[in-house]
Structure 1
């Protein structure tokens, strides 16, 4: 790699690599130390093409969700099976990996601006700005940036556009899927909201059961399937469909609590 080689967004890859290494080292214990991230489905990562892959996920914190994905994806590509043990996988991280984030979030301080260099596709939200509801047109430059990132590599997006659970899926994600026909890989995370603050920068509670499930790519008829049908598939895939909002019986809650205790005992 040339020392000053850049990606399509003008970022110097040598700088991006070192930022991922440093931020990865600083964040590693948040997922393997203070907490122990349980990973499922990492074998799927190794079989994906190098470009035009779109990861869709539920959203629990601003930054920790993405950090965890950088760890899991790079560890999986380094032949670690459902594990981020031994942080050496960060030495040669995948550099053509991007994530969609709100522009106002990535400009909210020096740390977010540094994080942005690791692969942020910063877009203007059409429905909310500075804590207030808005209604504005999608900027074509934002769509173009996502297209450029898919052509170059992998893109992570949170189709609800918010960390609040069970909010509607934004149809823009479905439009991008129909237009660019990426491989769509669902991810479901849990435990991040309990273990980190809303931004995902500070540890709120230790020894929280965190889970990270990578599911098989969605089967989508890009040409004939409707936007609403794709939206519904996304809702089910990332477990944010209203049907998941069921009242859980007390016995089921107790059984789940007992299972979590057994997992903690097995990991100790």
Structure 2
């Protein structure tokens, strides 16, 4: 945590440079520039824990904007995805994170969406913002379980955020994360331990595959795909 805080603090000059990038610069170049520091942070934090990260299926990630859909085992899931997907992503975050100094500024730079789940109207507006991000060429990551499982079990998928992909007509990429719970959640007290973590990326669900499906069917299909990856 101390390393992460210092990393973010000393990255402020780079954040200022990123904010100066003009709108005439292509989306992919802007996102790649903004993603360099978060990717580096993700990799370094996992290295500090001594964990081993194995990635499979990167060839399944399409070019252009996608919605990544992942299971959620622990707090290190975000850092695994930032560090090892090798594609710039924003993600949905609790609005309370805005109270943390500096961090929200970086999150805005990588196109994260802040959502207040206690306020239905605001939550819907946030999802509309996410749809526009996808339409404008940015990729997003969601955890449809809504909370950490803190283990290998896979919870039920909520459907609301999947509407962003359908409304923007972008591919949905299933991602299975396994092992992150052993870094932190299964330990007694504030202790980090090394773990063997796998990041498995399955073939995308393309718009032509899911446009005739309702959100519940889409969620069930993604759940099944991720469950199969976890069982491997």
**1:100 and 2:84 are equivalent in the alignment:** no
The number of aligned residues is 200
Counterpart-to-counterpart distance in 2, 1:24 and 1:109: 20
Equivalent in 25, 28, 34 of residue 43 of structure 2: 28
Partner of 2:223: 235
Partner of 2:116: 124
Unaligned runs of 5+ in 1: 8-12, 78-93, 127-134, 246-255, 257-268
Deviation at 1:239, TM superposition (A): 1.8
Q: Is contact 1:181–1:222 with CA below 8 Å preserved after alignment?
A: no
Counterpart-to-counterpart distance in 2, 1:21 and 1:230: 32
Q: What does the per-residue CA deviation read over 1:41-88, in whole Å, with 9 as the maximum and x for residues that have no partner?
A: 12223xx1222x1100001234x32222222232xx6xxxxxxxxxxx
Q: Is contact 1:103–1:122 with CA below 8 Å preserved after alignment?
A: yes
Q: What does the per-residue CA deviation read over 1:85-104, in whole Å, with 9 as the maximum and x for residues that have no partner?
A: xxxxxxxxx4xx31111212
User: Which ranges of 4 or more aligned residues in structure 1 deviate by more than 3 Å?
Assistant: 13-18, 20-27, 29-33, 135-140, 219-223
Equivalent in 128, 141, 163 of residue 156 of structure 1: 141
Partner of 1:183: 171
Q: Is contact 1:3–1:14 with CA below 8 Å preserved after alignment?
A: no
Q: What does the per-residue CA deviation read over 1:105-136, in whole Å, with 9 as the maximum and x for residues that have no partner?
A: x224226435523422111125xxxxxxxx84
**1:143 and 2:124 are equivalent in the alignment:** no
Partner of 2:68: 55
Q: Tell me the secondary structure at the aligned position of residue 147 of structure 1.
A: helix
- Which structure features the higher share of helix residues? 2
**1:109 and 2:100 are equivalent in the alignment:** yes
Counterpart-to-counterpart distance in 2, 1:36 and 1:162: 24
Q: What does the per-residue CA deviation read over 1:117-168, in whole Å, with 9 as the maximum and x for residues that have no partner?
A: 3422111125xxxxxxxx8456342122101210222111111121125332
TM-align CA RMSD: 3.5
Q: Normalization by structure 2: what TM-score?
A: 0.70
Out of 166-175 and 225-234, give the one that drifted further: 166-175
